[in-house]
Structure formats: structure tokens, C-alpha cells
Amino acid sequence: MATPLNNLLYFFDRPAQPIFRPRGGDSNTIFDVPANYYIDRYKPIASQLQTRGPNTNIIPVKEITVPDISVAASLDKRALFSVFNPFHREAANNLINVLMNIGSLEDFQSALVYIQPRVNPYLFIYCLSVAVIHRNDTRNFRLPSHACSFPELYVDGAVLAEVRASGTLVSNGSRTAIEIPRDFTASDLDVEHRLAYFREDIGINLHHWHWHLVYPTEGPLNIVNKDRRGELFYYMHQQILARYNIERFCNDLVRVGRFNSYRDPIPEGYFPKLDSIVASRVWPPRQANVALRDVYRELDQMICTVDDLERWRDRIYEVIHRGAYYRGNDLVPLSENDGIDVVGNMVESSIVSPNRVLYGNLHNQGHNMISYVHDPDGRFLESTGVMFENTTAMRDPVFYRWHNSIQDIFEAYKNTLTPYTAQQLSFDGITVTQADIIIENSRNNILQTFWQRSQLDLSRGLDFVPTGPVFATFVHLQHTPFSYRITVQNSGAQRVGTVRVFLGPKNDERGLPLRFREQRWLFIEMDRFTTTLRAGSNTIERRSIDSSVTAPFEQTFRSLDNAPLTGEESQNFNYCGCGWPDHMLVPRGTRDGYPCSLFVMISNYQDDRVENSSMDNGGGGCDNAVSFCGVRNSRYPDRRPMGFPFDRLPRAGAPTLNQFLTSNMRVQDVVIKFTDRIVNGPTVTNTQAGTTTQGGTNNRGGTNTQGTPQTQTRPTNNTSNQPNRGSQPQRRP
């Protein structure tokens, strides 16, 4: 039965197509648009626009007092949209506030029908997504994959031309899947192209888009001012850099360079090969060795200078070295508990920044200035580069160079903090005696990676194209499912611990052992969970699919055909959609086996526990990606600083990782062995789009060394009746 909640899916279907057009996979659904909702262009012919056949599903639309969207509507409908642009943020702020303040779900649907033809499609989907995530009456709604609505932001423009031709010329049942080429932005002559599988991965870019939906910079205060928001901005991007650097090591490349001198040329170029169907523009390239220049783009209401960036950066460094910042006219000390959060909110300017006038808009305007570097004054009428948008920014090598300079700011602050003492790191009576990675039918401590072919239906993001799925196949990194097996001795009474699992490289780009001071910033968080430790010996087992970092494959690529969920499992699907893609959990490795250190630590849950957290109170359904995405309507469920215990300089007398260890820690040598072959994933059964079958809910594709498919299923509820096997309280509201 159609309800306003179910009907929300239609607003994500062909988002640039007017709302009065038929919608849905069979195009037999229309909104009964009130006559005064039509824009002036269509009012004279309104009665002719909505064709109602005998099988048409008509959705009634209640007439309401229309909201004031004048600020949102002032953004050109054919413009590219970005929350980095101050004018665009103002438009988004207007529309998000409107959508959040509408009362009933029926009125919400009516307002969307009125708003959709009047605002920029990118802006509309962004603000609708933010509102759906944060409204109480839409929390059961499955937010579709952004790649389904705007495949142009994720897929080679040449592929979209083939998709349009297939959708127009070939009947639904005869359409074959279209292959997205693996090397469409550069050749091997460009050494940075070795990392294209990482930078251009659809799941990684979807993660970046979704994270910024959960943590917007504008909107109602209760949406923006989430617990430890600034710290999470720092940590999520620090982890991206760590992962990227490990991938570089695996591909015989040095660590990503910095962009500390804003006037130096940018060594890397990037040619994205992306088309903007909505804006009718091609995303322009950036030539190598081009330097930033002052941006004066009056039509885009974008004015920023290199001096601005340098001034804001220097003022933030002054805060760090002084140990205090100005909130208005008051000088406030940076405390050990929330200093990183304050600095994070300065670097990524938002409505919760302590002093936007003084500390500026460093991170966002840096993105803007890089995106305009090819035409800073608009004389050639060129649109922006991919650094302009959260959806596309991670494709460009300069994203990592820019964020490396941002990371320097955070590291400068962290280096002012007193190192952890051995006592702060210890858990009395707890000794981790063994930690292994287990893969069925394989030797322990050998992670296995390979290529996997998967499919994505692109038809619902193409306007004015006949209905029916048109699949594109793409190749991405994947790993064989594995488990952790951790042996722990508890010499005291039963207690609860937090298990923290990290993976880091052993050697630098020269093949020499990494110094611990450097290595600690290269450890990537693999998992974090709580467990009950009985007196005596305990064996903890935990599957990789249950990682607190990742979102399952089917949530990353959820389709527009998914109906709203029902029951307890539905309540946090949209937060669950936020998370690092599971298929990219393990770095690529090398054919000979890339050497890494598996680090396992068990800390005292009584020191980690957060009062009034949904993790503490039993949560409510989904348990993935809490490390990167936090918990809806709740405090971040870990009192420790993010990245603990590697977020501070090592204590005196512990210059190496082994000397840093306390009895509640364990390091195990592991290798990541990459096999250069392609395996069909669970969504690929043949090349005929009409007969492609989807893998079952919560199944993730994998393979063993013989190529036999394997799956792991992540349960909705991770609580176990056996407390020594990685059980943990519910962590999602």
C-alpha cells in the first residue's frame, strides 16, 4: 500500500525530470499535482502534462501553504552544487530548515512536490537526504544510493552515452550490461593512476557523500551540532589518508605529498572524464603544475584569495601553540578533552565553529580554490573541477595532498598533549596472549585480496529514458572474508573490555622498518567492539563483516526499488548507510604478500564507557560503522580520543612499537597477498541485465583461493549469548 513514506522513493527517481512526469520502474505512477504547484512555464498546459492511463497509480497531493524557498530557488537549476561554496551553503540552509520544520509526513510530501521543480536538482537531493536522515517520521525510509540518482558523478561519461542508447533502442529484456572501463581517466604513463582503483572507487566516493549528509555544515543547530563532530571530521579524514598511504606503499609509491605552501604548483594533474547531465557541462580537467590564484567568480558568488587561506591557517596554528582560542571576545583555553573537537570545527567551518570571522573557512575554501584553479576569474566560462563536490573530490590526487596539509594542523595539536603513560594504556589483570587472522581453508595471518565484478542499475538516474533496468558492471577491490581469533587471560573477576583492532604497515616506501612515531599515523582501524571477559582463559572470535568501520555492500549500493523497512531493524538504516565500504576494508597488498602488523588492544570498558549513550543503553538495531559515523541522537559511544592509543606521541622509553606494548596489547605479523584476477560478485550471474540476480540481504561476496564464492552475513543484532566471543551492546538508536 502506498504511503507518503513509500512515495519518497519517487523523488530520488530521475531527479532532474519534472515531478509531474510518470515515475517508478514501470513509469505508471504520477503525483496528482495541484494546478497552482506548476511553475509558470507549465501552468498553461498543466491539464495536458499528466497522462493518466487505465493502470496509472495516482498519488494524491494535499494542498498546503507553500513554504518560502526564495533563497534555495536563487541557485541556478543548471549549476553544479557544493556545500563548500558559501552561497550554496546558504541555499542549502534555507531548504533544510524548511524541510525539517514541516509538520506531518503528508505535508512533507506535498512540500516536496511543490519544491522539486523550483530548485536545483543536486541541491534538492542533498537537502532531501539530510532531512530524511534527521526527521523522526522518516527514519524507517531506506535512503537510496546516490549513485542511482546521479550516476554521472560516479561513472565515465562515455558509459552514460551507452546506457542512454541501450535504454532507448533496446527492449528491457534484451539489454546487456555495459562495462565501465577500469582505466578511463589515465594510462600507466601517469604513476598516480596506479591508485585509480582506490580514488575512483564508487563505494569510497559514496561513503564521502553520505558522511557529509550525516554531518552537514548548515541547517538546524540540533542537526549540525552532533557530539564530537569536529573530532570525527579529523579522525575520518586521517583514516582515509592512512589507508591511501598504505595503498601507495603497495603500489611502490611514496607517501602522499603535502600542500603546505599554497603558492607552489600542484604537481599532479587530473582529467576526470565525468559529464554533468543536469548542468550540461563536462567536469573540467586540471593540468599538472598549476598554482593557486585568487578566485573572483562573481556569477558564482565566490571570492577568495591565497592570502585568506594563509591567514586562516596561521591563526589556527596560533590557537594550537597558545593553547587558547577566541569565542567572541573571550579567550577560552583548549582543554585536553575537547581541544581536538574545537580545532576540527575551526578547520571545517560550520555554524558551530567557535569564531568563523576570525578563523575563517580554511578546509572548504581550499577545496573551492583548487576546483577553480583552471579558470579562477571565469573568463573562459568554465565550470568547477571535481574538488568542488564531496561526491567527486576523492577522485582527484590533490584531495589527499590538500588533506595531508590539513592533517598537519591536527598533528600539531595532538603533539602538544602529554603522551599516555603505561598505566593509562594498561588494563590490570588482562593479558592478550595471541591474536590471529583466520581464513577458512587457508593459513593463518594471510589476508587475501583480488578484483570483483559487480553491477549497478543506472537507469533511474537518467531523465527522459524508457523504463527498465540498464546495468553497468564495474570492477573493484575485494577481500576474502576472515575472522579474528584473540586469546585473553583474565587473572581477576569477570569484567568488560573494549577490543581495538588496527592494521598498519611494517615498512616505509623504501622497504625500511618504520619508526613508531611515523607508523602510528599509518595504522588503520579495522574494528572496535566490547566483550565480556570471564576469569581465566577467553577466546574471542569476531568476523570481518561485523567491523565497526564498514557498511555492507548491499547498503552501500542499495537500489531505488527498495521499499521502506518495517520493525526495529529499520530505525537506523540511513545511519547504517554511512560507513567505509566493506569491500575496501583491506588494503590491496602485493603478489608476494605485503607485510603488516596486526595490533590488538583490550582497554577497560569502565574507562571507555559513555554515560547516556545508546551503546550504553542497549542501542536499537544496526551496529555497523560507528567508528566513523557515530550514533544517531546520542553521544559518541567511546570516551577515549578517536584513534586511541596512537593519537599521541609515544611515551619516553617506548620509541618502537614493541616497547610501546603493555600486557593488554598484542602485535601479530600478517601479510596481505593480492591475486590479480577478477571474480564475479553476488550481483553478477551473467551479462544479461534482464536476468541478473541480486545477492541475498546482508550477503557480501568473497572468494577463497580456489575461486569458490564465500559469503558472510551480518546480523541485525550483534549481541551473542556467549560473552567471550566478541559480543557487544547495541550501539545504534
Q: Using alpha carbons only, what angle is made at residue 361 by residues 357 and 362, rounded to the nearest 5 degrees?
A: 130
CA 604 – CA 273 distance, rounded (Å): 50
- Grid cell listed for 647: 593519537
Are the C-beta atoms of 432 and 665 separated by less than 8 Å?
yes
How far, in Å, are 64, 71, 107, 347, 497 from residue 95 at the CA level?
17, 8, 15, 25, 44
- Residues annotated as part of the active site: 348
What one-character-per-residue DSSP string does 249-287 give?
Answer: HHTT-PPPPP--STTS-BS--B----EETTTTEEPPPB-
Q: How many CB atoms lie within 10 A of CB 393?
A: 24
Q: How far is 520 from 641, CA to CA, in rounded Å?
A: 14
Report the distance separating Cα 316 and Cα 319, nearest Å.
5
First to last CA, the chain: 27
- The answer for residues whose C-beta is within 8 angstroms of residue 331's C-beta and 6 or more apart is 324, 325
- Classify residue 363 as exposed, middle or buried by CB count within 10 Å of its CB (0-12, 13-18, 19+): buried
3-state secondary structure 481-519: CCEEEEEEEECCCCEEEEEEEEEEECECCCCCECCHHHH
What φ, ψ does residue 474 adopt, rounded to 5°? -135, 155
Q: Where are the alpha helices (DSSP H) in 172-266?
A: 196-199, 202-214, 221-224, 229-250
**Residues 6+ away with beta carbon under 8 Å from 338:** none
The residue written with cell numbers 596512537 in the block is 646
**Amino acid (1-letter code) at residue 649:** L
Q: Which residues of 138-152 are buried (b: 16+ CB within 10 A; e: fewer)?
A: bbbbbbbbbbbbbbb
304 in Cβ contact with 294 (< 8 Å)? yes
Q: Rounded distance, CA 81 to CA 122, Å?
A: 6
Query: CA dihedral in degrees (582, 584, 585, 586; nearest 10)?
Result: 140
Q: What values do phi and psi take at 85, rounded to 5?
A: -80, 125
Q: Is the dihedral of CA 10, 13, 15, 21 positive or negative?
A: negative
Task: Choose among 105, 146, 152, 104: nearest CA to 125.
Answer: 146
Sign of the Cα torsion 304, 308, 310, 315 reads negative
- Asked if 524 and 239 touch (Cβ cutoff 8 Å), the reply is yes
Listed in sequence order, the residues at least 6 apart from 114 whose beta carbon sits closer than 8 Å to its beta carbon are 37, 64, 66, 67
Which helix (H) or strand (E) segment is 91 a member of? helix 86-101
